[in-house]
Structure 1
Amino acid sequence: MAELGERFTRDLTIRYVAVLAVLGVLSLLSFVGLARSIASAEDGLAQVSLSGNQRMLIERTAFAANRLAVASGPERAASLEMLTDSLERLESRIPALTEAALALPLLPGRDIADGPARQISVDLARFLDLGHRLVAHAQGLDHDDPDLAALSAAAAGPLLEALDDLNLRFREASEDRMRELMVLQGAALLVAMGVLLVSAFGVFHPMVERLRADFTERMNVENELRDSEERLRRILEESPIGVSVSRRRDGRIVFANTRFAEILGVSREQFIGAPARENYVDETQRRAVLAELRRHGQIDGAEVEFRRKDGRPFWSLLTIRSTDFEREPVNLAWIYDITERKAAEQQIFLAAKVLDTLNEAVMITDAANKIIFVNPAFSAITEYSRTEAVGNTPALLSSGRHDGAFYEAMWSELLSKGSWSGDIWNRRKSGEVFPVGLSIVVIRESNGLVSHYVAVFSDITHRKEDEARVWRQANYDALTGLPNRSLFLDRLSQGVQQARRDGKSFAVMFLDLDGFKAVNDRLGHAAGDLLLQRASERLSDCMRGSDTLARLAGDEFVLILHGIRGREEPALVARKLIDQLSLPYDLDGSVAEVRGSVGIALYPDDAEDEAGLIARADQAMYAVKRRGKNGFLFASDLVPATSAEVT
């Protein structure tokens, strides 16, 4: 019996040890499996969070770029900083996202490169390139920029779809791994139960202890899972985008992060448990969202209007996904407040409409003086379309009538005072030169650097024509077209100043028509007017282009001969004038004859001022009339009058 007992004890001990060994191996496998489950769950959450963060960064990048295009001053600097930060964070996480995607299990008959994830790395690289290009020319960025349009399109198109698809694959892969590990765990449990049944009579107590240990381990796993869920809550809580979770069965909110409550203007305690429908601006808006959700099963970046706690409506980008939360079907919603962006878009729209309706041409250039915008009035006035103008410089309109000194003075005043206005000549596309009234304003950034130039101009051709007509009426004789007394005196004053400055001489000649009154009385005033016109033509033919011929009044004319030397040139001109005037005049069938009397005063010999020259030439002309008319006399040849002549 001792040997039997000893053998039984030995055999029982062997079986006990064997059972313990088997149970130990199974326990080890179970522990490893649970550890892998926990690690897999954490990896899955990290991958989901990674792809979600990338999506958020893409949306943040697009928002910052669009805000940069319309912002100014400090807001523009903040938008540029947000854009740069988003691009850096997005780029830093691409390797991890790519590595996680490559680690996904292959699908039957295809690999991870299939579907929207095919070009995920390429698309992200292209998106980053667009973002960096926008940062590079942020100073000249506007809402019409093609890179901005491409970046916005990428942020709302296939790139986000690819990230969503990759996110779904991460979730599916995590779930697959969990299922595999659970199957392995179940198999280990079945084997353990079999071993327990076989050794129930011999090793019941050790098995009970082992089971108790297993339950303890499971409790630890559950605690770790709860910790993992808490980490996920913290991730959502710290998200810069509003996040809420609402039950699908009754629509009540069971979770909301701080940002979500801030956007709606309520405390989180007031928010939790409230119906999600109360946040929509009206029932129509809510029904539209529900219809979209039923039709597609999700919502991606929809512009939806909500209402804050104080009743004020606001616009938001809404994204909804269906999932499970605390073992219950829920809708996971992300919202991003875009009220400022919508207001900016409205202001831009109104400004564009105003510019389109202006009758004045508006041209905006960047800091390099490249045209970036023109309104319809610009095209109507200059004949250049918007496509032809944008990208060129204002030199496109140069008429060639202004020299370099003019433009240097204009730019000097523009940069020193911040604005310039005046009249300038431009050239239309057809080649026609026309005058414009131009105003230019400098737009500067907060740091003082020039960002844009805004030019507004209008066609002033009719105004210039009116001014020229008024000026001509004020300075030219209406009958003969010759300069009148006013213009003559102005030119005489200029002649005195120039001659005094250059040390030169010139002559003033007074001419009166002899016999004009007789023609006027015999043939009538119409014939007299015609005679004056014909006489002025003959006198003009005797003049040089640099000389001046004017009609003072009636039949009196006056001439200024510049750059003379001595008395020979004035005398030669006087003889020629007298000879031309003495030829017969054909006055519409009637013949008339007149003569001319000419008095000549020389500067500075006879006088050194305007009044003196006029008086001396007038005296000489009347002296010729007293002597018999039809001749000329220099003022210096006048004989002093006697007392009898004066009387």
Structure 2
Amino acid sequence: MGNAETRLTRDLTIRYVAVLAIIGGLAIASFLGLVRILMDAEAGGAVIGVAAQQRPLVERVVFAVANLTRPLEPQARLDERAALALALDRLESAHFGLVAGMPEVKGAAPPSAAIKALLFGPDGRLDHEMRGFVGQARAVLAKADQRLPADDTDAKALSPSRVEPLLVLLDRLVTRYREENDKRLRRLFLFHGAALAATLALLILSAAMVFRPMVSRIKDDLAERVKAARKLKESEERLWRILEESPVGVSVSRRSDGAVVFANSRFVDIINTTRDDLIGHPARDLFRNESQRKAVVEALKRDGHIDDAEVQFIRRGGETFWSLLTLRSTFFEEEPVNLAWVYDISAIKAAQAKVRLTAQVVESASEAVVITNAANIIEYVNPAFTTITGYESAEVIGRDPGFLSSGRHDADFYQTMWDDLRATGRWRGEIWNRRKSGEFYAEQLSIVALMSDDGQAVTHYIAIFSDITNRKEDEERIWRQANYDALTGLPNRSLFTDRLQQAVRQSQRDGSRFALMFLDLDGFKAVNDTLGHAAGDELLQQAAKRLEDCVRASDTVSRLAGDEFTCIIPGVHGKADVERVAAKILEELAQPFELEAGRADVRGSIGIAIFPDDADTGPALVGRADEAMYAVKKSGKNAFRFA
């Protein structure tokens, strides 16, 4: 195949695919229009039916009131009162339902201006008349346990001649509902016809764009065949060839006996059989059951055609599948036949079932799901969201999720999150938010951006999160137990080592200096021996508090073991800075300790080492400070010494 032919074939393929896509879109629009027609017809029929019920109900009330004015047996009177009460209840329900617009009917709409004019004026005062009629009937019902006198005012007001104007108004109401329903259905039918006309126009355009170049290419080689194709018989054969190549299943069956006389390749593929096994066999065998076949036949007889009806057929092998069926009555070889177009929608049905299953999974999930639009406005939340946050769906739909913010994260945190979302289309992390009750909670959050079909714009964001507050609290408790002294609440040896390493790295980066104090309590053992270990623990707690009061918030006071404490003091410029802190500590420790078991007096011995003057590593600095502290103890205690 030459380059020109290759290009032509590729061009025709692209055109064909484009036309098919547009035709598919029009077919879906046509289908949705048909669904709207059916819904409006159903809703209009329901409203008309309710409106039409009112006249016989009014007549039944008049009849019951007339009977109650006559002499009746006690049981008969009770039955007539019950019939009157039932008719009034149904009449009130029908009337007030129509006034409210029949909200319980799917697809119903509030009363139009013309209907309101009949109900409330100026065309009539049906609502006023009906309320007066029901009120008088209720009055009769209230006193109907005894025979009503013939001149009872309420009963006379409900005589046939008195209620005739009301009946006339009811008839006008039904007529007006019918007129409005017919007008609405005509508009929808016009829309549906326009969609079909667009589809047919597109088919004609596709023939011009796809097949015409091909016909032009072979015209010179097949001149004689083109002339012969002008004859009527060959034109008919070409028509059936088009049907044969149609992407929609096409079959023809005789109306006399229902036998299939034609089936294109697509129809054979859909039924999963061979042409020989299909031709000559009754079309009724393809229906899922006899009742469905009869419904199709009755609709065809009644309307003369069937458009896009959802019907279940059977493939060879017994598998059932859903299809869209269109039927037309026509002639084939001078014989009346039914021409059927069958479109397999089993995949669409399966997709719909999958969507419903997905919705059920989301609704029953233990993780909260939030869907927002591109402007980050909430469009959907599942029940788990309510469980975790305390907010009902109606309270959050239409709002920005920012109302959940706990205030624990700064603007840079959220800016980074949005930058990641825009760059990668997703973000995952931990975040603190606030419940409706005001309680803070931690959540494990995943956000995914959904893109448009062309991938150029975000259409929605889906956020899925779970409550990890308990886990975070457990982690915090475990971390604190591992890094803080249980008795004094000060950092323990593990956290002290980490803080010391941080101080060394910071000093190496910026050339700063820091001091390390190593402190041991003098006389602590005597307190334990004389006042007991509980008193010793209390003293350690008070000593820790005094040490923290003597240093800055940026300094780190730690308890290593027993009565040994350390203090890391960053940002020192010379020994004088450290001497002031050490002197203050010794002064505070020298004050008596008031314990539950009695007063105790202890002192402190402090060794000081400065980084990097005295050592260039953390462990070495600890050793120098420890040596200085022991030197203080040997020389009399209650003092401090530099390494």
Following superposition of structure 1 onto structure 2, how do residues 189-200 of structure 1 map, counting pairs within 5 Å?
none
Q: 2:367 aligns with which of 360, 363, 387?
A: 360
Query: Is the 8 Å Cα contact of residues 87 and 128 (structure 1) preserved in structure 2?
Result: no
Alignment of structure 1 residues 94-243 onto 2, 5 Å:
118=183, 122-123=187-188, 242=249
Q: Secondary structure at the match of 2:487?
A: coil
Question: 2:353 and 2:30 mapped to 1: Cα distance?
Answer: 31
Is 1:533–2:541 an aligned residue pair? yes
- Look up the SS of the partner of 1:559 in the other structure: strand
Bigger drift between 292-301 and 522-531 goes to: 292-301
* Alpha-carbon distance in 2 for matches of 1:567, 1:557: 20
**Letter of the aligned partner of 2:584 in structure 1?**
K
Task: Give, in whole Å, the separation in 2 of the partners of 1:400 and 1:562.
Answer: 31
The answer as to 2:488 corresponding to 1:480 is: yes
Counterpart Cα distance in 2 of 1:573 and 1:363: 55
**SS of alignment partner, residue 583 of structure 1:** coil
Shift of the alpha carbon at 1:316? 1.3
Equivalent position of 1:640 in the other structure: none
Question: What is residue 595 of structure 2 aligned with on the other side?
Answer: 587
Aligned to 1:611: 619
Q: 1:475 to 1:322 in 2, by over 3 A?
A: same
Shift of 1:533: 1.2
Instruction: State the 1:342 CA deviation.
Output: 0.8
Matches within 5 A, 1:309-458: 309-319=316-326, 333-364=340-371, 373-386=380-393, 395=402, 397-403=404-410, 405-407=412-414, 409-410=416-417, 419-441=426-448, 449=456, 453-458=461-466
Distance 2:496 2:244 in 1: 89
For 1:632 and 1:533, the matched residues in 2 are separated by: 22
Q: 1:307 aligns with which of 295, 303, 314?
A: 314
Q: Could you tell me which residue of structure 2 aligns to residue 467 of structure 1?
A: 475
Distance 1:532 1:118, change over 3 A: same
Question: Deviation per CA, 1:547-605, whole angstroms, max 9, x where unpaired?
Answer: 11111110111112233343344333323322322233332242222222222333444
Determine the C-alpha separation between the residues in 1 that align with 2:613 and 2:443: 47
CA contact (8 A) 1:442 1:450 kept: no
Q: Evaluate the alpha carbon distance shift between residue 287 and residue 523 of structure 1 in structure 2; reply closer, same or farther with a 3 A threshold.
A: farther
Q: Which of these two proteins has the greater Rg computed from alpha carbons?
A: 1
CA contact (8 A) 2:518 2:566 kept: yes
Paired amino acid for 1:543: V
Cα 1:404–1:591 change in 2 (3 A) is closer
> Partner residue of 2:566?
558
User: In structure 2, do the counterparts of structure 1 residues 324 and 503 end up closer, same or farther at CA, with 3 Å as the change threshold?
Assistant: closer
Between 1:611-620 and 1:363-372, the stretch displaced more is: 363-372
SS of equivalent to 1:622: helix
C-alpha contact (below 8 Å) 2:531/2:597 kept by paired residues: no
Rounded to whole Å, the distance in 2 between the matches of 1:324 and 1:77 is 33
Q: How many residues align?
A: 448
Separation in 2 of the partners of 1:307 and 1:88? 27
Q: CA RMSD in A?
A: 4.7
Q: CA separation in 2, counterparts of 1:615 and 1:341?
A: 77
User: Structure 1 226/506 Cα, relative in aligned 2: closer, same or farther at 3 Å?
Assistant: closer
Q: Is the 8 A contact 2:535 2:597 kept in 1?
A: no
TM-score normalised according to structure 1 size: 0.57
CA drift at 1:83: 5.0
- Distance of 2:20 and 2:402 partners within structure 1: 33
Q: CA deviation at 1:321?
A: 6.9
| 1:501 to partner: Cα distance | 3.7
Instruction: Normalising by structure 2, report the TM-score.
Output: 0.57
How far, CA to CA, are the matches of 1:467 and 1:540 in structure 2?
Answer: 26
Q: Could you list the runs of 5+ residues in structure 2 that have no partner in the other structure? A: 1-16, 32-177, 198-230
> Quick one: which amino acid aligns to residue 548 of structure 1?
T
Question: Cα distance, 1:234 vs. partner?
Answer: 9.4
Tell me which residue corresponds to 2:45: none
The percentage of counterpart residues that share the same residue type is 55
Deviations along 1:429-488, one digit per CA (max 9) or x if unpaired, are 555443222334566678654666544332221221111111111111111110111211
Describe the shift of the 1:565–1:259 C-alpha distance in structure 2 as closer, same or farther (beyond 3 A).
closer
Which of 507, 516, 533 is the aligned partner of 2:515? 507
Q: CA deviation at 1:255?
A: 6.3
Amino acid at match of 2:592: P
Provide the C-alpha distance between the structure 2 equivalents of 1:416 and 1:446, rounded to a whole number of angstroms.
Answer: 18
